[in-house]
């Protein structure tokens, strides 16, 4: 899934201090291999260079929680 600037996402990276946190895409950049990397902004900082595989849409997670109730 591709993300755009302004999208709300959840970071899934056990090595990051923001693992599991919801943030907003602030910048999208492309590597020399054509892969997209994202800069994600959180309440208390930001995480640059996040690969697409480490992100999921925050709205999808909220919808899943609603279905469980």
For 14-51, write each residue's pLDDT tens digit.
999 999 999 999 999 999 999 999 999 999 999 999 99
d(CA 62, CA 20): 13
Q: What is the pLDDT of residue 2?
A: 87
Q: What's the average model confidence in pLDDT over 40-65? A: 84
Q: Rounded to two decimals, what is the model's pTM?
A: 0.80
Q: Residue 47's beta-bridge partner residues?
A: 40
Provide the 10 A C-beta neighbour count for residue 63: 10
The three-state secondary structure class of 48 is strand
C-alpha–C-alpha distance, residues 69 and 67, integer Å? 6
The owner of tokens 């849409």 is: 57
Structure tokens at 4: 């755009």
């Amino acid at each position: 899934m591709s993300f755009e600037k302004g999208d709300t996402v959840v970071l899934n990276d056990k090595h990051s201090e923001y693992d599991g946190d919801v943030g907003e895409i602030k910048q999208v950049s492309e590597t020399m291999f054509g892969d997209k990397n994202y800069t994600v902004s959180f309440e208390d900082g930001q995480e640059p260079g996040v690969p697409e595989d480490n992100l999921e849409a925050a709205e999808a997670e909220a919808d899943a929680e609603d279905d469980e109730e």
